[in-house]
Each structure stands twice: as structure tokens, then as C-alpha cells.
Structure 1
């Protein structure tokens, strides 16, 4: 998961730099931002589920 996150972050940084230099249209930049938001939202969901699982394992021990 960390490798995916690092790869995704590098890709996002490249997209942000391209958008800042005017290579991407505002619409393309907006879509890239929405995709980044969805990715981060899913990542948070996975981490919260892992945390809940660890908490329940700790309580059962």
C-alpha cells in the first residue's frame, strides 16, 4: 500500500506541476483533483477499517 501511495503521490505531483504550468486545461485539472480525492477517501476508509480491526483484536485479547 505504501508503494502505491508513493507512486500515486508522485503522479499527483506531476499533474499538479503540469496544471500549474498551463499544460492541463482547468477541466482536466478538476478531474485529476476529484480522482485524487476519491483515492484518498478510499485510503482513509481502509486505514479506519484496519484500526477498528486492531482495536477489536486488542479488546478480545
Structure 2
């Protein structure tokens, strides 16, 4: 798992190419501290999940 500096879908996708998973804890906490609500977090996590799903569908 990789988790340092991953805060965008593109970064998550790139990290996934080199690891079995990604950790985005600080990116979520940063959004909460900036005032994000549950719907904002859900949308953010959905964009990360979509990027990871696309990467997983690609042949290695």
C-alpha cells in the first residue's frame, strides 16, 4: 500500500500501478478541516474509487 502525498484521482491511479492499494487519510482529513461535509467527502471518495477501478481494469 502507498499513502504518502496521494490526494487526487490521478495520484491514486499512478500509485495503484505500483502497489496493491492506496491510503488517502490525510486528504480526507484535510477536506474535513476545510469544512467538507459528508456529501463532499462521498463525492471525493467516489472520484478516487473511479480512478482506481479504471486502473484495475487495465492490463498490467
TM-score by length of 1: 0.49
The structure with more helix, counted as a fraction of residues? 1
| Structure number with bigger Rg | 1
